[in-house]
């Protein structure tokens, strides 16, 4: 089958027009702020069971727009509170690649698990990791929120939304993380504490960012 040459010029013009629209946005896409009240999102003292330590401003840059740190008191182990991090970044893939790097100590993951935590604001997928160690190890739980939507895999979520982001702008990734040392005897309790905090942090996020709107 031969294509008529009379269609070549219009087709080439259309391809150039599409390229002129898509290419600049692909190389330097604009950014979309998906949170209704981002200035209040970093007020982590509003999250129940949280002792904020403020923003780590040395970590903030053009990509990382929030880096909140603090502790989560443990009534059963008052000398060993969990730590928390809430990090929002437009460097989605880099942030999602190594969330354990947000911990103040090095965590060599040995056991991976996935939970679905039911919250008043709907279920949220949470990853739970244990480091190596027999008598003591690090236990870390973290969840991803892409734009305003909890996701299990930020890589797939960004691929699925690639063309949408070309027109609407790039969405940030938020990591909600809680973790600390545990033993075989305290692991279940520490995990439950971390999951409760993530559920509360997700509630805080929804209240500040969605403002009654649907997730996007």
DSSP string, 116-137: EE--TT--EEEEEEEES-SS-E
Tell me what pLDDT residue 11 has: 47
Which of 138, 44, 139, 140 has the alpha carbon at shortest distance from 88?
Answer: 44
**Structural domain of residue 112, as residue ranges?**
33-209
Which of 124, 172, 165 has the alpha carbon at shortest distance from 146?
Answer: 172
Q: Is residue 108 part of a domain?
A: yes
- Cα gap 34→62, rounded to integer Å: 16
Name the more confident of 63 and 12. Answer: 63
Find all residues with CB under 8 Å of 89, minimum gap 6, and list them.
63, 64, 65, 95, 172, 173, 175
Q: Please state the domain count of the chain.
A: 1
Q: Which band of pLDDT confidence, cut at 50, 70 and 90, is reported for residue 162?
A: confident
Q: Is residue 7 part of a domain?
A: no
Tell me the whole-structure pTM to 2 decimals.
Answer: 0.84
- Six token digits for residue 108: 């060599």
């Amino acid at each position: 089958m031969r294509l008529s040459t009379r269609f070549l010029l219009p087709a080439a013009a259309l391809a150039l027009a599409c390229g002129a629209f898509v290419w600049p946005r692909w190389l330097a896409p604009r950014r979309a702020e998906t949170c209704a009240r981002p200035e209040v999102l970093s007020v982590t003292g509003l999250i129940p069971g949280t002792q904020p330590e403020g923003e780590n401003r040395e970590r903030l840059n053009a990509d990382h727009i929030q880096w909140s740190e603090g502790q989560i008191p443990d009534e059963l182990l008052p000398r060993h509170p969990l730590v928390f991090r809430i990090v929002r970044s437009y460097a989605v893939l880099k942030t999602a690649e190594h969330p354990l790097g947000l911990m103040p100590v090095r965590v060599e993951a040995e056991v991976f698990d996935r939970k679905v935590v039911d919250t008043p604001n709907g279920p949220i997928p949470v990853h739970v990791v244990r480091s190596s160690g027999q008598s003591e190890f690090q236990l870390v739980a973290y969840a991803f929120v892409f734009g305003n939507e909890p996701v299990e895999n930020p890589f797939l979520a960004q691929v699925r939304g690639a063309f949408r982001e070309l027109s609407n702008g790039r969405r940030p990734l938020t990591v909600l993380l809680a973790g600390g040392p545990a033993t075989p005897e305290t692991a279940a309790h520490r995990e439950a504490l971390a999951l409760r905090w993530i559920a509360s942090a997700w509630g805080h996020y929804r209240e500040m960012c969605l403002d009654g709107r649907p997730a996007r």
